[in-house]
Structure 1
Amino acid sequence: MKYNKEIMSVFGLIVCASLWGIGFPAMKAVATLPTFYMIAVRFAVAAMVLGILFFKQLKFTSKILIKNALILSLLNFSLYIFDTIGIKYTSSAKASFFSCLGFLIIPILNLIIYKQKFTKITTISVSICLTGIIFLSYSPDMGFKLALGDIICIGGSVLGSLYIIYLDRISQKGENSNPILLSTFMMFFTCLWSTSVAWFHHDFTVMPSRINLYILIFIGLFCTCIAFLLQTICQKYVPSNRVGIIFAIEPTSGAFLSILLLNEKMSSVGILGGILVIGSLLYQEIMSNKIHKEDGDTLQA
């Protein structure tokens, strides 16, 4: 039963990562809007939808849930500042990759903070994925060089990794017993922080076009509400190091959708990098499932 939950959770995290990938070309399409305005609207939509759908569950709110939601919201808010600003100074395709270096950062942070050693599978998978990211940083005019937006997006990756690690820890402690409420309050607090800053900067004097408003609602509903809810529910059953590898599918979907929808260009070297990133994910999943199967056969024997 636990193994089946893990398989379903992996699938849920892949859907989550794919939705976030779609968010990159969507954010690029509305990149002319003020940064904090964009963050406020997307999380307002997400918090409102979850609040309406699961209003009756608010009676189960606890102090520890509020505390965890506050911490996650601050990490999340900081992450989206980096990502939303970074995408203004690089292509959507490259932003999607450099915002998602959790596959590399999470194992390193776990090693530093919790003395959690790399497994052989993680080491090989991270090596393949890192090679892919290096190839993706290549452009014909700049070679293997990072743009300002790339560096800002890498900062977002560090914050995103801390978010995943913290969510993993509270799940292991049993403090993530109500993932729907946790997601709802996290989104509400993120909306609160971004709305406050947007109000201070007078961002709400900007009136978005109808198409931009539709795109923001789409981002809020699918790339925020559904995606974060899936992450909070599914990550309870998948270790954080493995989650980082699974989320490597996010930049790949973001890059290819940016090419398809925004007519952005990617070199053959960059395409090879994307293939390597997907290959690292497949290797991680195939080998992890093989180990699970062998362990199950041993127990049955």
Structure 2
Amino acid sequence: MKKWLAIGGLILVTVIWGGGFVASDIALESMKPFQIMMVRFLLASVLMGVISRGQRKSEEKLKDRAGAIKAGILMGVTLFMGFAFQIIGLQYTTPSKNAFLTALNVVIVPFIAFVILKKKIGAKGIIGAVMSVLGVALLSLNGNFTLSLGDGLTLFCAVGFAFQIFFTSEFVKKYPASVLNTIQMFTAFVLSAISLMIFGENDFQVTIQGWLSALYLGVVSTTICYLLQTACQKYIDETKAAIILSMESVFGTIFSILILHEVVTVRMVIGCAVILAAVIISNMSETSEKIEDKEICKI
């Protein structure tokens, strides 16, 4: 029963995150990128901090406090990079393209693990990577084989999120999730505030829709979703969870069509389908390898 509730919870996360692409697009009508990010991570930092204080037992058990802080900062830096490239890229591309290109982070993670931890990449992981390149070409390349600015920035965003996912999977084994989340969100907030001042985005002239969108992103899409994801993944293995979470790109496209009336071409649909298939295949590789290893051990 808990497993099915967890699956339902993760699906809810993907629906909310899918709506986040539309909320970001609406917020950009009256807010600058780093204004949105600063508000988003300020709300998340405060709420995560309150929740973390309510879990003092985790903090009391924490022996390596300095290590947890460093880990949280590293996660926060990569989280900031992911969201920064994503929302800046969204100014120059559509929410549906932004959503599917962001989903490529799942394909990139095994290659990061290979470079840093020397973990082997399975055949399905390589197939997934090749398919993802094909999907990006169908979805984003222009007639002269150039990549648009928005799509190029979103690809950098996928790399940022891939590192964030990798670091999270490594550090959550050593430190309490509530502590890591709080430090991560606060780090992203500080970097957003610094970027806001550097790029001169101090002038806030925000509409009610803009504030509501930022509120949704900070409270629902960030705080609630990250907490719900952490709780649900206690009952589902990371491979299945990643496949379910990749569905955020599908919901992002659906909401973009329904709310923003985005026009979707046949080529875009094929490109999105290839990228989604690449994400699923690349995540199936780890499970297949574990099964094969067990069979070899039996022999």
State the TM-score, normalizing by the size of structure 2.
0.80
Which amino acid is the alignment partner of residue 38 of structure 1?
I
Q: How far off its partner does 1:247 sit? A: 4.3
**Alpha-carbon displacement from aligned partner over 1:85-139 (angstroms, at most 9, x marks no partner):** 1111111211222223113322222222222222244344445555444332267
Cα distance in 2 for partners of 1:11, 1:65 equals: 31
Q: Which runs of 5+ in 2 are unaligned?
A: none
Q: Which residue in 2 is equivalent to 1:122? A: 125
Which amino acid is the alignment partner of residue 165 of structure 2?
I
User: Cα gap change, 1:133/1:250 in structure 2, threshold over 3 Å: closer, same or farther?
Assistant: farther
User: Cα gap change, 1:185/1:144 in structure 2, threshold over 3 Å: closer, same or farther?
Assistant: same
Cα distance in 2 for partners of 1:86, 1:166 equals: 24
Q: Which residue in 1 is equivalent to 2:28? A: 31
Q: Is the 8 A contact 1:138 1:270 kept in 2?
A: no
Q: Which residue in 2 is equivalent to 1:162? A: 163
Q: Is the 8 A contact 1:136 1:274 kept in 2?
A: yes
Q: How far off its partner does 1:298 sit? A: 11
User: Cα gap change, 1:192/1:11 in structure 2, threshold over 3 Å: closer, same or farther?
Assistant: same
Q: Which residue in 1 is equivalent to 2:137? A: 134
Q: Which residue in 1 is equivalent to 2:174? A: 175
User: Cα gap change, 1:247/1:132 in structure 2, threshold over 3 Å: closer, same or farther?
Assistant: farther
Q: How far off its partner does 1:28 sit? A: 0.9
User: Cα gap change, 1:52/1:10 in structure 2, threshold over 3 Å: closer, same or farther?
Assistant: same
Q: How far off its partner does 1:66 sit? A: 1.4
SS of the aligned residue for 1:265 comes to coil
**Alpha-carbon displacement from aligned partner over 1:12-59 (angstroms, at most 9, x marks no partner):** 555444433221111111114122111010111112222233423257
Q: Is the 8 A contact 2:243 2:279 kept in 1?
A: yes
Which amino acid is the alignment partner of residue 165 of structure 1?
F
Cα distance in 1 for partners of 2:68, 2:85 equals: 26
Is 1:40 aligned to residue 41 of structure 2?
Answer: no
Q: Which residue in 2 is equivalent to 1:68? A: 71
User: Cα gap change, 1:266/1:294 in structure 2, threshold over 3 Å: closer, same or farther?
Assistant: same
Which amino acid is the alignment partner of residue 23 of structure 1?
G
User: Cα gap change, 1:138/1:244 in structure 2, threshold over 3 Å: closer, same or farther?
Assistant: farther
**Alpha-carbon displacement from aligned partner over 1:139-167 (angstroms, at most 9, x marks no partner):** 7xx57642111111111111111111111
Q: Which residue in 1 is equivalent to 2:89? A: 86
Structure 1 stretch displaced more, 194-203 or 29-38: 194-203
Q: Is the 8 A contact 1:245 1:280 kept in 2?
A: no
Q: Which residue in 1 is equivalent to 2:112? A: 109
Is 1:77 aligned to residue 80 of structure 2?
Answer: yes
Q: Is the 8 A contact 1:245 1:284 kept in 2?
A: no
**Alpha-carbon displacement from aligned partner over 1:198-222 (angstroms, at most 9, x marks no partner):** 2455534313111210111011112
User: Cα gap change, 1:77/1:282 in structure 2, threshold over 3 Å: closer, same or farther?
Assistant: closer
Q: Which residue in 2 is equivalent to 1:217? A: 215
Q: Is the 8 A contact 2:72 2:184 kept in 1?
A: yes
Q: Which residue in 1 is equivalent to 2:225? A: 227
**Alpha-carbon displacement from aligned partner over 1:236-276 (angstroms, at most 9, x marks no partner):** 7645x776655432222212211221111111121233334
Cα distance in 2 for partners of 1:8, 1:127 equals: 34
Which amino acid is the alignment partner of residue 158 of structure 1?
V
SS of the aligned residue for 1:203 comes to coil
Map 1:235-250 to 2 at 5 A. 238-239=237-238, 245-250=243-248
Q: Is the 8 A contact 1:82 1:152 kept in 2?
A: yes
State the TM-score, normalizing by the size of structure 1.
0.80
User: Cα gap change, 1:243/1:166 in structure 2, threshold over 3 Å: closer, same or farther?
Assistant: farther
Q: Which residue in 2 is equivalent to 1:20? A: 17
Q: Which residue in 2 is equivalent to 1:152? A: 153
Which amino acid is the alignment partner of residue 116 of structure 1?
K
User: Cα gap change, 1:131/1:235 in structure 2, threshold over 3 Å: closer, same or farther?
Assistant: farther
SS of the aligned residue for 1:211 comes to helix
Q: Percent identity, aligned pairs only? A: 25
Q: Which runs of 5+ in 1 are unaligned?
A: none
